Amino acid sequence: MNSLIIIFISTVLVNNFVLSYFLGICPFLGVSGRLESAFGMGMAVTFVMTIATAITWLIYNLVLVKFGLFFLEYVVFILVIASLVQIVEMFIRKFSPPLYQALGIYLPLITTNCAILGAALFMVTKGYNLLESVVFGFSGGLGFSLVLLIMAGIREEMYYADVPPVFKGASLTLIAAGLLTLVFMGFSGLVSS
């Protein structure tokens, strides 16, 4: 139980996929313009990352390791992620058309979101068991969502800020992302994992 709490805190705050590993930058910068779309994307990524780590752990340990098919790891993981994203996309299109429209092109881009693939690959390299992998995937998604929502809030406030024209748009967004990274670096002494 103690190790699960350490994995959770470490993945959400200390080893955040976006701010520590720079994975998932495209949706981080693309969808963080509005809180509603950031929340929807964060929940979709959290769901896909959690389920993907569970399924990829099972496939990796019960099929790939058993039959010595390690070289198929990337292909299998990408196929699992792509399948899950299609299911999430169909669900959102049917039950929340406004969210589907707000996410636009970024919803299919979850398929190529390197944060999700990174979670599946890190799970293998860290040697997590199934429960640890699910906690790792869930907390990775929550960390992604947290950073996405914080950045969306900052960007909504920056929209009304009086800034020099040279800093408007991407410049100020990247500066804010850098400062947010520095803030999260303050959590580095929190856990020793």
Each residue's pLDDT tens digit, 81-97: 999 888 888 888 898 88
Whether the CB-CB separation of 132 and 7 falls below 8 Å is answered with yes
Per-chain mean pLDDT for the chain: 89
**Amino acid making up residue 68:** G
Whether the CB-CB separation of 14 and 187 falls below 8 Å is answered with yes
pTM of the complete model:
0.88
Q: What length does the chain have?
A: 193
- Tell me: pLDDT of 193 over 70: no
Q: What is the pLDDT of residues 103-122, one digit of tens each?
A: 777 677 777 788 999 999 99
Q: What is the pLDDT of residues 122-180, one digit of tens each?
A: 999 999 999 999 999 999 999 999 999 999 999 998 888 888 888 888 888 899 999 99
pLDDT at residue 147 in the model: 96
